[in-house]
Amino acid sequence: MLLLDRQDVAALLPMADCIAAVEGAFRAHAEGALPAAPGTLATPVPGGGFHVKTAVLGPAPGYYAAKINANFPGNPDRSGLPTVQGMIGLFDAADGRPLALLDSIEITTLRTAAASAIAARHLALPDARTLLVCGCGIQGRAHLRALLAVRRIGHVYACDRDPARVAAFIGEFAATGIDIEPVESAGEALPHADVAVTCTPGRQVVVREDDIRPGQFIAAVGADSEGKQELAPRVLAMARVVTDLTAQAAHMGELQHALAAGMMGIGDVHAELGELIAGQRPGRSSPEEIFVFDSTGTALQDVASAAAVYERALATGRGRTLALEGGAAGHD
């Protein structure tokens, strides 16, 4: 079994390759080519919580991945630890062999941004040039890199409750020549943004219906567990909503709040991302349509990304080998 740390993952999974892997997994799911549906389990604890997400990627022999992530938003201020920590176990889906144990932070970061970029490629205006990034931490930086791969972004509005994060964000991209403008709030920049990404860890609304404008594409990333919210429910009611997985979004995404408020029903969801990729549902049909991508994060993204890292590690000889001694068969 291979052990692959965060530096290994970063070296082996360029953003463009992650986008391609994630897109393929969503397509396979929409086309019914996977042997099982992805699953999720959430366990809240004081100060944070744990998520377990699982999926199988085919065709045979295929891969099975289980990701365990801990999410503790107070960590950076309290202990200096990252908000998200975790690991991914990758297995051979044909015989159950453990293949790799991977640090999950880099994969979670890359695959989340990759999904938003795929959605933007299908739904953002073709000539989109302005971007709002609300939440300038790890996810905000990854999203800018991913969106630059699908749209010619020339001006970025950046906001975060911590001014130091905004300054670090601007500094990281200084060499790109992109004009980055700090703003106090999402509402200040939304009237001017073609594309917006919200990736905050909070439970307070940052996007309201009076802020948005025709033609906008919004990737709502922060709501990934019960109770978390970044968009007012009426924003979803005004837009065409695309989810990564609708059943999951109804439970833990922005959709949960629109459903609870009675402003939408499940049948009002326009499409899942895989359906757009597979051509089963239409994308943008007019320049006035507003789209919201409700991104909750799925194990489809994790297994596709982990498999890509593992295969490249085998090809390049990267990673450390750990031998697991098997014992007698017993109860599981």
247-261: b (≥16 Cβ within 10 Å) or e: ebbbbbbbbbbbbee
Residue 234 Cα to chain centre, angstroms: 23
> Per-residue pLDDT averaged across 187-211, rounded?
93
Write down the pLDDT at residue 37: 87
Positions marked catalytic? 67
Write down the pLDDT at residue 278: 98
* Structure confidence by residue, pLDDT tens digits, 291-324: 999 999 999 999 999 999 999 999 999 999 988 7
Those residues whose C-beta lies under 8 Å from the C-beta of residue 330, and which sit 6 or more positions away, are none
Write down the pLDDT at residue 82: 85
In the sheet where 84-92 sits, what is the strand order? 39-45, 48-57, 63-71, 84-92, 98-103, 2-4, 320-321
* Structure confidence by residue, pLDDT tens digits, 158-186: 999 999 999 999 999 999 889 999 999 99
Residues pairing with 320 in the sheet: 3
* Token reading at 141: 């930086």
In the sheet where 271-272 sits, what is the strand order? 179-182, 155-159, 130-134, 195-198, 217-220, 291-294, 240-243, 271-272
What 3-state DSSP class applies to 306? helix
> Per-residue pLDDT averaged across 183-192, rounded?
95
* Token reading at 179: 């004009």
Write down the pLDDT at residue 326: 58
Contacts 24+ apart (CB under 8 A), 53-57: 53/297, 53/298, 53/299, 53/302, 54/299, 55/25, 55/298, 55/299, 55/300, 55/302, 55/303, 56/93, 56/303, 57/25, 57/28, 57/93, 57/300, 57/303, 57/304, 57/307
Domains annotated for the chain, with CATH where assigned, are 2-107+299-321 (3.30.1780.10), 111-294 (3.40.50.720)
Write down the pLDDT at residue 325: 64
How would residue 84 be classed by pLDDT, with cut points 50, 70 and 90? Answer: confident
Write down the pLDDT at residue 80: 87
- Kindly state the percentage of the chain with pLDDT values over 70: 97
Q: For residue 195, with 0-12 CB atoms within 10 Å meaning exposed, 13-18 middle and 19 or more buried, which class applies? A: buried
